[in-house]
Amino acid sequence: MDHQEIIIVDFGGQYSQIIARRVREWHVFCEVIPYKKAFEVIKEKKPEGIIFTGGADSVYDENPPRISTEIYDLGIPILGICYGMQLIASDLGGKVELGDAKEFGKTKTQLDIDSPFFKELMETNQVWMSHHDMVTKLPEEFETIASTDLSVHAAMANHKKHIYGVQFHPEVHHTHEGKDMLKNFLYDICGCTGDWTMENYVKAAINNIREEVGEGKVLLALSGGVDSSVCAKLLTEAIGNQLTCIFVDHGLMRKNEGDEVEAAFKDSGMNFIRVNAQERFLKKLEGVTEPEEKRKIIGEEFIRVFEEEGKKIGQVDYLAQGTIYPDVIESGEGEAAVIKSHHNVGGLPEVVDFKGLIEPLRDLFKDEVRELGEEIGLADYLVWRQPFPGPGLGIRVIGEITKEKLDILRDADYIYRDEIKKAGLERAINQYFAVLTSNRSVGVMGDYRTYDYTLALRGVTTTDFMTADWARIPYDILEKISSRIVGEVKHINRIVYDITSKPPATIEWE
């Protein structure tokens, strides 16, 4: 796809992918590249701009993450964020030291609104700080463009060379006008025009799929979720009946979901096959309690099923998956730590009996996938279906998985989703689900003592699924949900509601 691009150099910062999402929101394409590979990529691609991310290291450590200083002579605008700013200062002759006091959280900041980076913003602003190192001396030809009570140089600029640094994080929502700061960098400093759109992406993706697949046959792992449904529609547009969609019912689906997926796709014009593999998966998962092991077992078994089904229908050349960008990031690609292995990324077995993988959504965030679905005309109820992880309820049953536990969770989760829908909150809460914990506690029902499971309810609001806030569900609705579940579902006598945001938690429990 021919488009303008920003390269984000990842120094291991926790917000690296949020930066990418914010750039995409301004319709500018970007890639996150590990710092060890970034300089060569930048020389080859000649992007419109470069962003250095934050990171946990200090520039004065013995071997901190660095990039070739030749990057400053390429004539490409650069923005350094937190560690990125400190690295620029250190590389170009400034000084970075451990501060007398740490600066964390919401911070009142004075901006130089004559700088193009802060163009048309409020002079007194709120930003989000998260650092203990500070730039104490600017490099030559740099000037201070923002300050706080603790940071004399909260932001710096070399306007002539278009190199900027900010000690705070403009990419997070807590920085009030951070989104506009990034827009100023992208449009006014880098000269971007916003040519990254789903309309353009669809055309490019279809061409790329056709070019790669040729006359080959493709198997798609179709779960019926948003990602795989959009993937199925896009692949159908590109290669038609060269595509076979295989729905593996692994017995870890929500209540009635297997039948619903089959009803949605069986007569849609796609080649659709349903494989009932419940017993096979549950046998593989017997006695397994560790979340990463569960994910990898489920991922490997998925591939084995696809290989077997592919052989039944003749020669199959490619496996297609609805992998999206957060899946890739959380599975530890680049400099990021492995948070959890996704069954279709980190959970893939080493040997896959296909020529290759087709992953047309791999560069997209969840909201971009929904936008793409609408662009290609996918049914609205599929575009806005509740997100569901590939391992399904296998990672929503804490500890060992049994059919009995799955059935308990299915019934409880159904009630939860039913009441959220009745309350008209299904669009307001981006994801909501129940988790059957391994905790059991004493309860009283009627005149009898019970010793049953604790069920956790989770609800979050988010735009990108890289960060999320817990949903403020009204108490009366939570009360109704709790009463129904305890009254209608056997073996649950206690309900708790998860009020943890992401980070520090993830959206799923496992």
**Is residue 338 within a helix (H) or strand (E), and if so which, with residue range?**
none
pTM value > 0.75: no
Q: Which of 162, 169, 250, 342 is catalytic?
A: 169
User: In the prediction, which pLDDT does 327 show?
Assistant: 73
User: In terms of Cα–Cα distance, which of 51, 55, 56 is closest to 28?
Assistant: 51
**Catalytic annotation, pick one of 30, 82, 190, 231:** 82
Q: What is the mean pLDDT of residues 86-101?
A: 92
Residue 447's pLDDT is what? Answer: 61
Which one from 103, 171, 368, 419 is the annotated catalytic residue? Answer: 171
Based on its alpha-carbon atoms, the radius of gyration of the chain, rounded to whole angstroms, reads 25
Whole-number average pLDDT of the chain:
89
pLDDT band at 348 (very low <50, low <70, confident <90, very high): very low
Q: Is the peptide bond before 139 cis (omega within 30 degrees of 0)?
A: no
Residue 497: pLDDT band with limits 50, 70, 90: very high
Q: Is 3 a catalytic residue?
A: no
Predicted confidence (pLDDT) at residue 29 exceeds the cutoff of 90: yes
Q: Which has more confidence, 480 or 225?
A: 480
**Region 21-33 average pLDDT:** 92
Evaluate if residue 22 carries a pLDDT over 60: yes
pLDDT at 331: 55
Mean pLDDT for 47-69 is 94
* Residue 192 appears among annotated catalytic residues: no
| 143-202 pLDDT tens trace | 999 999 889 999 999 999 999 999 999 998 889 999 999 999 999 999 999 999 999 899
Does the pLDDT value for residue 476 go beyond 70? yes
For 127-145, how does the pLDDT look when each residue is reduced to its tens digit (9 = 90+)?
Answer: 999 888 999 999 999 999 9
Partners of residue 163 on adjacent β-strands: 78, 158
- Cα–Cα dist 43/178, whole Å: 28
φ, ψ at 108 (rounded to 5°): -70, 130
82 catalytic residue (yes or no): yes
Q: Residue 446: its pLDDT value, please?
A: 67
pLDDT at 445 over 80: no
* Contact call for residues 154 and 147 (beta carbons, < 8 A): yes
Percent of the chain with pLDDT over 70: 94
Q: Taking CA 365 as the corner, what is the angle to CA 37 and CA 28, rounded to the nearest 5 degrees?
A: 65
The confidence score (pLDDT) of residue 339 equals 37
Band (341; pLDDT cuts 50, 70, 90): very low
- Tokens at residue 489, please? 């579902």
Mean pLDDT within 284-301? 93
CA angle in degrees (0–180, nearest 5) for 357-361-362: 65
Read off the pLDDT band of 464 (50, 70, 90). Answer: low
- Least confident interval from 19-33, 69-83, 332-346: 332-346
More confident call, 74 vs 2:
74
- Structural tokens at position 346: 């980190």
Average pLDDT over residues 72-84: 97
Q: Give the Cα separation of 463 and 124 in Å (integer).
A: 27
